Amino acid sequence: MTSVSERAAKYLAKYLKKSNKSISLKKFLYKIPEPGKRRKRIQRIIYGIYTYWDLIERFLQSAGLVNEKKKPYYMVGAFRVLIDKWGYEQLRKQLGNILHDDEI
């Protein structure tokens, strides 16, 4: 059995592949075929990552991890590591603090 973060990474990769076909994030999240609480957790993780997409992409570019050909795969891998290491709530707090520091 896979963890919620692994499933979220898999669905995020699927969304990135379908994003050229102009499917909205809301519609995509609604159609995730997972049961109950697991579905809600996956939706929250994907929405949170998509919210902070530009900030995380900037971190990856500064670390030199982004290859333009394989960019979505690196992004999904990095998000997965971040989620596993800190958990979704901690990650949201960390990125929120960084955003507020940048504004000052």
Question: Rounded to two decimals, what is the model's pTM?
Answer: 0.57
Which DSSP string corresponds to the chain?
---HHHHHHHHHHHHHHHGGGT--HHHHHHT----HHHHHHHHHHHHHHHHTHHHHHHHHHHHT---STTHHHHHHHHHHHHHHHHHHHHHHHHHHHHHHHHH-
In tens, the pLDDT along 54-83 reads: 777 777 667 665 666 666 666 666 666 666
Domain boundary assignment for the chain: 4-103
Query: What does pLDDT average to over the chain?
Result: 71
In tens, the pLDDT along 28-56 reads: 888 888 888 889 888 888 887 777 777 77
